[in-house]
Amino acid sequence: MNQFALPLGWAAEEQGEFLVVESNARAVRMLEHWATWPVRTAVLAGPPKSGRSLLGRIFAARSGGSVIDDAETVDEETLFHAWNRAQEERRPLLLIATAVPPTWSIALPDLRSRLAASPAATIDAPEEALMATLFERGFARRHLDARADLIAWLTARTERSHTAVIETIDRLDRAALAGRRRLTIPLARETLDIDKTARNRSDLPS
C-alpha cells in the first residue's frame, strides 16, 4: 500500500488525522483551490464518520473561511443569507452535508439557484486500503493489539463504510474486554457472526 499523503501540505496542527486517498481526493482538491471557485460558497458531501467535519475544520483554518455543518438541516433563510454574505465579504463558505443539494428538499427558489451555482464534491465510500488503515488506527487508539491477519480479514468482510469500521471496532473492543481475550479472527467470527454476511469471494483467507 502506498503511503497516504497528508492533506494539501497544510501545517501539522491543522491536519488532524485526515488521510487523502482516491475516495476523497476530489473533495480535497476542491477545498485546496477555493480561490478559484466561481462563487464563494461550495458544498462538501459525505457519509457520517467520513472525516467531512475534520476536513471542514482544516479548510477553515487554512482559508479563513467559515463552515456550516449538517447544512441540509439548517433553516433555508439562514443558508440564503450566509451564501449572500460570503459573496459580499469575499470570504469562503463551506456547507457540509450528507448529500449534494439536488437531493435536498429546498422550498426557497433563490436558495436553490444559488446552491446550483456552487461547486460541490463528495467523499465516497472508503476503498480497501483506507479501510485497513482505519481499522489499524482505530484499534491503536484503544491500545488494542490487532494483528495484520485480523485487519486483512475484517477489511475483506466489513461493509465499505466509515461507520461500519467504527461499529466493528466497538463490538470487538467490548467482546475482548468482557471475555478477557485478545483480538483474533476466531473472536471476530464469534462476535460479529460475520460469515453470514460475508461477500461471496472464494479467495478470502479463512
**What is the Cα–Cα distance from 149 to 91, expressed in whole angstroms?**
48
- Is 2 within the bounds of a domain? no
- Is 37 within the bounds of a domain? yes
Q: Using an 8 Å Cβ cutoff, are 79 and 21 in contact?
A: no
Structural domain harbouring 132: 128-196
On whether both 112 and 158 belong to a single domain, the answer is no
Cα torsion 154, 52, 64, 22: sign: positive
The answer to whether residue 84 scores a pLDDT higher than 70 is yes
- pLDDT tens-place string over residues 51-74: 899 899 889 988 999 999 999 999
On whether both 39 and 98 belong to a single domain, the answer is yes
Q: Which of 63, 97, 122 is the last residue of a domain?
A: 122
- In 87-159, at which residue ranges do the beta strands (DSSP E only) sit? 93-97, 120-122
Q: Using an 8 Å Cβ cutoff, are 41 and 86 in contact?
A: yes
Provide mean pLDDT across the span 104-124.
96
Q: Which of 122, 142, 166 is the last residue of a domain?
A: 122
- Is 164 within the bounds of a domain? yes
At 200, the pLDDT band (50, 70, 90 cuts) reads very low
Number of domains forming the structure of the chain = 2
- pLDDT tens-place string over residues 138-161: 999 999 999 999 999 999 999 999
CATH classification at residue 58: 3.40.50.300
CATH classification at residue 183: 1.10.8.60
All cell numbers assigned to 103 = 437531493
Q: 55-82 burial, b if ≥16 CB within 10 A, otherwise e? A: bbebbbebbebbbbeebbeeeeeebbeb
Q: So what's the pLDDT on residue 6?
A: 41
Question: CB neighbours of 52 closer than 8 A, spacing ≥ 6?
Answer: 44, 45, 46, 96, 123
On whether both 35 and 108 belong to a single domain, the answer is yes
On whether both 191 and 94 belong to a single domain, the answer is no
At 7, the pLDDT band (50, 70, 90 cuts) reads very low
Residue with cell 451564501: 83
CB atoms within 10 A of CB 47: 17
At 194, the pLDDT band (50, 70, 90 cuts) reads low
Q: So what's the pLDDT on residue 156?
A: 95
Q: So what's the pLDDT on residue 203?
A: 46
Q: So what's the pLDDT on residue 61?
A: 86
Question: pTM, whole model, 2 decimals?
Answer: 0.81
Q: So what's the pLDDT on residue 16?
A: 56
On whether both 98 and 150 belong to a single domain, the answer is no
Q: Using an 8 Å Cβ cutoff, are 161 and 125 in contact?
A: yes
- Is 75 within the bounds of a domain? yes
Q: Which of 91, 122, 153 is the last residue of a domain?
A: 122
On whether both 48 and 146 belong to a single domain, the answer is no
Q: Using an 8 Å Cβ cutoff, are 79 and 71 in contact?
A: yes
All cell numbers assigned to 134 = 482505519
- Give the residue with greater pLDDT, 15 vs 17: 17
At 179, the pLDDT band (50, 70, 90 cuts) reads confident
